[in-house]
Each structure stands twice: as C-alpha cells, then as structure tokens.
Amino acid sequence: MTGVIADGEISRDELERLTVSARDAAEQGRWDLVDECYRLRDIAMQRASIPRQDAERMLASDRQVQERALVAKAAVAELLRESQAVRLRLSRLRHGAGAMGTIDRKA
C-alpha cells in the first residue's frame, strides 16, 4: 500500500493525497468518492501522528468540501421545490382538463 512506511505509520503524503482527492471529488460532485476518501483517511488517521500544520491544512480543505456539500444540498433542495411546483401545475391542468371533459360530455 502506498503511504505506509516501514514502521507501519501512515505517511503524511498519503493523508494529504486522500484529503486533496476528497476536495477534488467534491468539486466534481463525486460524493461517493468524497465519502470513500474520507473513510480511508479516517482509518489512516487512527494510526497516524499528525503535525499541527498538516492538521490545519487538512481542516481548511475539509471546510472547502463542506462548503461545496452545502451548495450542492441547496441546489438539490431548489430542484425538488421546482419539481414539486411543476407536479402541482400538471395536477391542476389535469384536474381542469377533466372538469372540461365532464362539461363537454354533458353538453
């Protein structure tokens, strides 16, 4: 496995690679890959000793991922609202068309 050094400690390069990969995947909307990178990083961090500067850099990257996730969540929520509005309009049109069909049959 890349990133493992002789004594079994995870290299800082591997943690950095997983962090950058998660950020890049978030930029592309690949949330499955973001999840996988964080899962692997979490496992690796349990065995790692991380210098403060590296931890701060990872946290800054994590904040970028979080911001992208919030933007994506807001976009999905807006699409759901728009979809609901379209369904409501279609339902009204069907109801109106049904009512007109009933009137036409009686006339």
Which amino acid, residue 60? A
User: pTM of the full predicted structure?
Assistant: 0.70
**How many angstroms separate the CA atoms of 96 and 28, rounded?**
43
Tens of each residue's pLDDT in the chain, 107 residues: 344 444 445 688 899 999 999 999 999 999 999 999 999 999 998 888 889 999 999 999 999 999 999 999 999 999 999 999 999 999 999 888 776 665 554 54
pLDDT tens per residue across span 53-70: 999 999 999 999 999 999
